[in-house]
Each structure stands twice: as C-alpha cells, then as structure tokens.
C-alpha cells in the first residue's frame, strides 16, 4: 500500500511538473510582461516582504524567474523590525535571536541558515547562553527545588504523552503534577511561575492553549547556543537578502484585499486599486492575518486549508524596552527571571547592556496578559508597571526614570495580528502539513507557521521560503534552463531533482 501511495504521489508530482512547464513556456513565448498604470504582470508574485518572501524572491531571481514582492507595510522585514534609539542602541522590536548555530539533530540541517547568512555577510553577533541567568526566587523557596520541579515536570509530560491518543493541554498535566507533589499554595504559585516563564514565554501563550503531546512530538528544533546581533539588529539579515534587488521588484504599501486563483492567470487586488497578474502566487503573510480573514479568496480556500489555519496556534509576545544613560543594576547576566510565590506579571527579562554595551532592559510579556495590556494601558502606564516590578526585584536601588522606552503592540498590528505560531490543543500533525501545501497548483504558502519542524522560528520562515522556491523551480518547472544553473543555490542536476522529489514523496508516505 505504501509503494502504491508513493507511486501515486510521484505521478501527481510529475503531472504538476508537466502542467507548469507548459505554463512557463506560455509565459516565455508571449513575452507579455507589462506594467500599465494599474496592472502589473509577472511570473511569480510574492505577497509579504518578510524572511520567507525575500528569501524565495532572491532564489527565484537568481534563476531568471520574473518575480515581484509586494508588502503592505512601509518597510521590509515583516515581524523583523530593528530601529536605532536615542542612546545608540539598535534594538529589535520583533525577532531578535539566531536560535542556535550548529546542528546536532539527526537528519537535520548542520547549520542554522540564519547563522550561515550572518557569517557570509560578516554581521557581528554575540552569544547569549541560556545559563547566563540571574533568577529572583521567593524567600521561602530554594532555587534548586523550583528548577528540579520543572525538570521533573517535563520528564513527566514526556512519559505521559507517549501513548496518549488525545492532546490534553500543558495545564492539564501541570495540575495533575502539582497535586501529585502536594504543593502548598506558595509552592504551587512558584511552580506555575516557572512554567509561565519557560514554557508560556517560549510559545507566547497560556498553558491551557498548548497541546502537550504534539508539543513533545514536534517541538520546534534549534541548534544549541543562541546569538543576538551586536550592532546591526536583525535588519542586517533583511538588508543582505535585498542587497541586489532592482527598483520595482519590491513594492511597499500594497495592502492585498483579494486573491483570485485557479485560472489561467492569478490576480491580486490591492487597496489602492492596483491589479497584479501572475502565473503563481506565493503567500507569506503571518498566520494571524489568515486567521483574521483579512484577505478575500476567489474561489474560497478549501476546507482542509481553512481548518489548518483555524486550528494552528498563534500567540502574542510583546516587549517593554527601557533605556538609561547609565546602568543602575550591577548584574552582568544576560537574563533575569522572576519566580513568584504569588501571581505576578513580568517574569522574563533580558539585560541588553551585555550585548550592546549600552544600558537597556527588555521585559517580555505574552498571551492574554499581553493582549490585555495592549488594549487597556497606554505606553506610559506600561512603563510605570514595569518600573514598579523592577523596584520589587531590586529593592535596595532607587530605579531612575528611563531616558527612552519602546512598547510593542503586535496583536494590534494589522499586518500580523500577533507574534508567531505554536502547537495548539486542537491541531493535528496533518494540519502542519496542510499549512504548507499549495492550493490548485497556483497559490503557494510560506512563512514560519508553514514550517513543520521549525515553526515559530526565524530560520523556519527562511527555510519555508527556500522550500517554495525549490517547488516552483524544480517541481513546477520554472527554471529557465535546468542544465545550466545560474548560481550555486540552483546547482542541482536533473538526477538530484528526481532524488529530491522522491524524498519528498517518501516523507509524505512515512508521515
């Protein structure tokens, strides 16, 4: 049965290749690329100028494919957003870390692709080891106890979910674990406090929304030691991806309102009335935009795609960034973590002074807590709340007013409606596959939420762009001359192409 399924999948891939090779020939023969006052024609239209869209565009352009990227914002980068502050910081309001550098995952990539770009572009970084941590524990709790609870809990969940058929939440298992340990009220709060920081903080949502079994099975993989960008911000990666872009290949402030596909030429309508026509569309908008149904599709997206969009989790991670002329704290640790024996906000902190050599603290808050603060507090009120918590953490110091501050509001951003994806209670393994699958062989999808292994990570977004560029070039036949590669990134022979296609088919069968 598996061999029959493999043959069927390969036959479908072959049919796709033949169909889209014909589509490419039609484009080449017509030479009908034009840009009138309100209609633009191209081979591939990419919607979204974030990591996935820009990487796909780079590879397609290198291989001679006519490609245009349109972006609703007035800047490139998407959820990568770096800016220079008054005291010289280059801070990242969105993605900030290279999540590891060297791979140790069997069958995985040997090196984080973001790290590869940083090295190639000579972008300076600094290591931020996770154990470089200053933890604030309740007076009545020993740090060793709380850390041991967390390690035991993770082991407990891993064992309990191995044979589980349903996907209960982390909260479900946390409640059972706390009852098994007979925690006092204060111990229970300390236990949940560390879960709040180490699990909810990573997934940008609450324990009751994170599917424990799927999380343990498909946990986003990374590459060990983490790095941040020393002077340039994450924007340096975006700048590198766009360094050879020609004028007009990336068009900003193009807000997409409707996508029409499953026709000879797909069409995209923007809010300013411009129409883009293309043989293929690669949609890279964040999952939050798809969940909000901000783009009309004609015909409507199929049910299997809509179900995947609705079931995948999508969280909120906000930052309050406070800057001073002089560091008033004496700690040189990268991370601050506050564990509390009573319910309190703001458990996760980063000491940016250590990697930028300029005094600043980043406070992280997420999930419903972040949404509530976005919708009820002004920037000034958020700064006051954060200062009050700092005063509790450093009672022997009078906390001065910051000289500058930045408050993010990603849930209110109409081009993201949140931060990044996570494994939800309701989703299935198949949903992650469905998110990455094309519709009608014309509408393709990329972005971190479509990365089955590296969901939620910047390298997941980048690799998804490479995946879809490879699909367009080698499965759908857009490579103009498949015998003469135009760059190292396209140096794949016909034999290797068939190996890649067969590997994809085999992965689908084994899955």
Residue 506 has pLDDT above 60, yes or no: no
Cβ–Cβ under 8 Å, residues 236 and 80: no
Contact predicate 464/52, CB 8 Å: yes
Residue 272 pLDDT grade (very low, low, confident, very high; cuts 50, 70, 90): very high
Measured distance CA(69)–CA(62) in Å, rounded? 14
pLDDT at 478 over 50: yes
The region of weakest confidence among 196-205, 298-307, 387-396, 490-499 is: 490-499
Q: pLDDT > 70: what percent of the chain? A: 81
What average pLDDT is seen over the chain?
84
Instruction: Answer whether residue 488 shows pLDDT above 70.
Output: no
Q: Which pLDDT tens digit goes with each residue over 260-269?
A: 999 899 999 9
Q: How many residues does the chain have?
A: 511
Residues 29-41 have a mean pLDDT of 64
Pairing of strands 420-422, 313-315: antiparallel
Task: Write down the pLDDT at residue 144.
Answer: 66
What CATH architecture is 2-77+235-313+423-510?
A: 3-Layer(bba) Sandwich (3.50)
Q: Is-contact 328 399, C-beta < 8 A?
A: yes
* Listed residue (276, 275, 281) closest to 262, CA to CA: 281
Q: Collect all residues with Cβ–Cβ distance below 8 Å to 132 and sequence separation of at least 6.
A: 333, 334, 335
User: Within a 13 Å sphere around the CA of 23, how many CA atoms are in the beta-carbon half?
Assistant: 27
Instruction: Quote the pLDDT of residue 463.
Output: 95
Per-residue confidence at 310, pLDDT binned at 50, 70, 90? very high
Q: Determine the pLDDT at residue 197.
A: 84
* Residues 107/111/117/122 CA torsion (nearest 10 deg): -170
Q: What is the pLDDT of residue 15?
A: 47
Quote the CA–CA distance of 38 and 342 in Å, as a whole number. 59
Quick one: pLDDT band at residue 25, thresholds 50, 70, 90? Answer: very low
Higher-pLDDT residue of 284, 353: 284
Q: What confidence tier does 230 reach under pLDDT thresholds 50, 70, 90?
A: confident
Residue 484 has pLDDT above 70, yes or no: no
Taking residues 48-68, what's their average pLDDT?
97
Question: What average pLDDT score do residues 52-56 get?
Answer: 98
**Binding site annotation covers 364?**
yes
Residue 339 annotated in ligand binding: no
CA neighbours closer than 13 Å in the CB half-sphere of residue 344? 23
Please state the rounded mean pLDDT for residues 201-207: 91
Query: Which of the four pLDDT bands, split at 50, 70 and 90, describes residue 69?
Result: very high
Question: CA-CA distances (angstroms) from residue 68 to 65, 75, 396?
Answer: 10, 15, 57
pLDDT for 79 equals 98
The set of long-range contacts for 265-269, using a CB threshold of 8 Å and a minimum separation of 24, is 265/41, 266/45, 266/442, 266/443, 268/45, 268/47, 268/70
- CA 278 to chain CA centroid, Å, is 26
- Higher-pLDDT residue of 11 and 45 is 45
Region 354-360: mean pLDDT is 79
Please determine, for residue 190, whether its predicted confidence score (pLDDT) is greater than 70. yes
Residue 36 is predicted with a pLDDT of: 62
Which tens digit of pLDDT belongs to each residue from 136-185? 766 656 666 778 898 999 999 999 988 887 779 999 999 999 999 999 88
Q: Which residues contact 101 (CB under 8 A, 6 or more apart)?
A: 111, 112, 115, 223, 224, 225, 227
Q: Where do the structural domains in the chain lie, given as residue ranges?
A: 2-77+235-313+423-510, 144-218
Q: Is the pLDDT of residue 14 over 70?
A: no
Least confident residue range of 97-111, 325-339, 479-493: 479-493
pLDDT value at 213 more than 80:
yes
Which of these ranges, 142-146, 234-238, 487-491, has the smallest mean pLDDT?
A: 487-491
* pLDDT reported for residue 482: 56
- 8-state DSSP, 199: I
Distances in Å between the Cα of 258 and the Cα atoms of 131, 253, 283, 294, 323 are 48, 15, 12, 9, 42
- What is the per-residue pLDDT for 508? 42
- Provide the whole-model pTM: 0.85
- Band (pLDDT 50/70/90 cuts) for residue 101 is confident
497 secondary structure, DSSP code = H
CB within 8 A of 479, min separation 6: which ones? 63, 64, 65, 473, 490
- Residue 221 pLDDT exceeds 60: no
Q: Cis before residue 299, ω within 30 degrees of 0? A: yes
229 labeled part of a ligand binding site: no
- pLDDT at position 103 is 60
Q: Tell me if 250 sits within 8 A of 61, measured CB to CB.
A: no
Q: How far apart are CA 478 and CA 466, in angstroms?
A: 14
Long-range Cβ contacts of 498-502 (<8 Å, 24+ apart): 500/470, 500/474, 501/10, 501/13, 501/474, 501/475, 502/10
pLDDT at 416 over 80: yes
């Amino acid at each position: 049965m598996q061999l029959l399924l493999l043959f069927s999948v390969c036959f479908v891939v072959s049919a796709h290749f033949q169909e889209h090779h014909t589509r490419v020939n039609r484009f080449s023969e017509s030479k009908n690329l034009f840009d009138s006052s309100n209609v633009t024609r191209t081979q591939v239209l990419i919607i979204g100028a974030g990591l996935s869209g820009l990487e796909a565009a780079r590879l397609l352009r290198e291989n001679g494919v006519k490609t245009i990227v349109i972006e609703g914002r007035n800047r490139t980068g998407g959820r990568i957003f770096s800016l220079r502050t008054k005291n010289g910081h280059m801070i990242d309001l969105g993605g900030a870390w290279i999540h590891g550098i060297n791979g140790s995952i069997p069958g995985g990539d040997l090196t984080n692709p973001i790290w590869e770009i940083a090295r190639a572009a000579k972008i300076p970084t600094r290591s931020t080891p996770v154990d470089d941590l200053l933890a604030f524990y309740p007076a009545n709790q020993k740090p060793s106890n709380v850390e041991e609870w967390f390690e035991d809990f993770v082991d407990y969940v891993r064992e309990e979910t191995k044979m589980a058929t349903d996907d209960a939440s982390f909260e479900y298992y946390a409640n059972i674990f706390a009852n098994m340990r007979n925690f006092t009220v204060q111990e229970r709060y300390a236990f949940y406090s560390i879960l709040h920081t180490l699990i909810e903080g990573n997934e940008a949502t609450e324990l009751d929304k994170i599917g424990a079994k799927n999380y343990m099975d498909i946990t986003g993989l990374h590459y060990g030691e983490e790095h941040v960008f020393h002077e340039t911000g994450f924007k340096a990666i975006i700048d590198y991806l766009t360094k050879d872009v020609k004028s007009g290949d990336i068009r900003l402030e193009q807000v997409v309102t409707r996508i029409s596909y499953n026709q000879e030429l797909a069409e995209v309508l923007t809010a300013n009335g411009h129409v883009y026509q293309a043989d293929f569309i690669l949609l890279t908008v964040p999952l939050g935009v798809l969940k909000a149904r901000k783009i009309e599709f004609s015909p409507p997206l199929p049910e299997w795609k809509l179900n995947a969009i609705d079931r995948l989790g999508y969280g909120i991670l906000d930052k309050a960034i406070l800057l001073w002329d002089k560091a008033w704290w004496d700690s040189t640790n990268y991370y601050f973590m506050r564990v509390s024996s009573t319910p309190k906000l703001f458990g996760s902190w980063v000491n940016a002074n250590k990697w930028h050599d300029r005094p600043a603290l980043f406070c992280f808050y997420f999930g419903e807590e972040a949404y509530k603060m976005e919708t009820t507090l002004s920037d000034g009120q958020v700064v006051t709340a954060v200062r009050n918590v700092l005063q509790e953490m450093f009672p022997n110091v009078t906390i001065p007013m910051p000289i500058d501050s930045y408050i993010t509001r990603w849930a209110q951003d109409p081009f993201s409606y949140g931060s990044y994806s996570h494994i939800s209670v309701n989703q299935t393994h198949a949903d992650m596959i469905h998110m990455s699958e094309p519709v009608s062989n014309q509408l393709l999808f990329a972005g971190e939420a479509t990365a089955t292994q590296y969901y939620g990570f910047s390298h997941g977004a980048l690799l998804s762009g490479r995946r879809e560029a490879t699909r367009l070039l080698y499965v759908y036949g857009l490579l103009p001359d498949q015998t003469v590669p135009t760059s190292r990134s396209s140096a794949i022979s016909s034999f290797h192409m068939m190996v890649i296609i067969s590997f994809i088919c085999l992965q689908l069968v084994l899955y």
